[in-house]
Structure 1
């Protein structure tokens, strides 16, 4: 991206019908079906190239790791390559976080320049989302653990600390230029006032640790629109601990 830039971020403003806010997070085309009204605000977006070591998961809600694996291209769902990639990412997270177990339970490939049409989208092939969000609030995180492990095992593991962590990286030969990912620094947030219902993590035993990483795609106005395929992958991982 070539240095810090100013870009528009579409923040939640109010609900269009006056009722409690809701969102269909299963939308595929790059927008969520919702009753949210949004306000675009121009903010400074920092380029972390060359400053990768200045952010930390526990402090900022995200961090940057170097990928030294073999998977650089989009893969076929439920293939041996997918299994190996899931295993590879689980090993990286387990080592980095000193976790007892890591389960990669989902992935989504996102396409830019050009975007996918409606008939090209499915559960693992989608377009970017252009509104800041957190994927799981505490109730949905607990529900997800039950879906993955079953109620009995979930009740056991949730007696200890657990996390749901997203891994994001580009795929293919073309860098993500036109609509990159940006993540909100947790240190810049007041989680009780800046984040709306359904997205605040409460953890009284870890009040000094970042609880989430709000994130969104944004349109990079500083580069020409490129009609070449730009693909990223995000993987959602359940991270379990012994205590």
Structure 2
């Protein structure tokens, strides 16, 4: 993986202190809606509390042993996107999906890649056409229950049953759109620092189905990292689920956060994330 991005000499800060939003455990399963819920129903339940943590600059101070998707749950690569303009849905699904499928095979060794959806995000006030805001709550997009269910959701039953007998993973491919990230960068937790008991399943309700994601309770052992000022020619892989054994990172936690190093006139962050099934 010779194109993995580890360091940018222009970055000088080794770490920042910032607040991340952790779930407060109450014993009640939280619920979130992917759409506007019925009148009187809250968009999200669950109590969150901000905790000040150290977030290391992964370009200058990567995890011990270096970065690896299968060890730490995330890694960064350099590649120029096939699209300069992400405003067209059809172009994203044809041109950008095709390039991303090739890159994911190259970077992970997966024999087959199925991209099952994508989300555009914009931290500005004027969002339209399904574009969403960055998520400032610590989370992971799937659970050990919902991960295998995604294979059954997106592939024919017989094919899904066959593929589920082998190793598969769910990986997000995340990259900035248009310009350098100056605000709301992603913080990523080293998978090795997460106790499985830190992850709390929550229902994620869509118009036609109910999924399940993880929220996370605070643990002082969590080790957080970020990549300051990511550019559109950098792509971040985030491990969401892996059916492999305990010696491989099975998931990680991530969240957008308010970077104290952001300039006062920082531009709103724009990004795209692809959610993918990888079969090995």
Q: Distance in 2 between matches of 1:185 and 1:136?
A: 17
TM (normalized to structure 2)?
Answer: 0.73
- Cα contact 1:93–1:102 (8 A) shared by 2: yes
Q: Does 1:111 align with 2:119?
A: no
Q: Distance in 2 between matches of 1:185 and 1:99?
A: 22
Q: What residue in structure 2 maps to residue 11 of structure 1?
A: 22
Q: Does 1:87 align with 2:98?
A: yes
Q: Distance in 2 between matches of 1:202 and 1:167?
A: 13
Q: Which among 182, 196, 200 is matched to residue 200 of structure 2?
A: 196
1:36: how far off?
Answer: 1.0
Question: Secondary structure of the residue that 1:138 maps to in structure 2?
Answer: coil
Q: Deviations over 1:126-173 (max 9, x none)?
A: 00111111101122122211121122221111111111100111110x
Structure with bigger helix share is 1
Q: Distance in 1 between matches of 2:169 and 2:241?
A: 13
Q: What residue in structure 1 maps to residue 262 of structure 2?
A: 223
Q: Which among 41, 51, 62 is matched to residue 41 of structure 1?
A: 51
Q: What residue in structure 2 maps to residue 232 of structure 1?
A: 271
Q: What residue in structure 2 maps to residue 57 of structure 1?
A: 69
Q: Call closer, same or farther: CA 1:126–1:184 in 2, change over 3 Å.
A: same
Q: Deviations over 1:207-239 (max 9, x none)?
A: 111111211000112323436343111111110
Q: Call closer, same or farther: CA 1:145–1:202 in 2, change over 3 Å.
A: closer
Q: Distance in 1 between matches of 2:51 and 2:98?
A: 40
Q: What does 1:171-186 align with in structure 2 at a 5 Å threshold?
A: 171-172=177-178, 174-186=179-191
Higher relative contact order (CA 8 A, sep 6+): 2
1:175: how far off?
Answer: 1.4
- Cα contact 1:110–1:233 (8 A) shared by 2: yes
Q: Which moved more, 1:45-54 or 1:225-234?
A: 45-54
Q: Distance in 1 between matches of 2:21 and 2:187?
A: 12
Where do 5+ consecutive residues of structure 1 fail to align?
none
Q: Call closer, same or farther: CA 1:99–1:204 in 2, change over 3 Å.
A: closer
- Cα contact 1:103–1:238 (8 A) shared by 2: yes
- Cα contact 1:180–1:220 (8 A) shared by 2: yes
1:14: how far off?
Answer: 2.7
Q: Which among 161, 166, 176 is matched to residue 160 of structure 1?
A: 166
1:97: how far off?
Answer: 2.0
TM (normalized to structure 1)?
Answer: 0.83
Question: Secondary structure of the residue that 1:59 maps to in structure 2?
Answer: helix
Question: Secondary structure of the residue that 2:52 maps to in structure 1?
Answer: strand
1:8: how far off?
Answer: 0.3
1:27: how far off?
Answer: 5.0
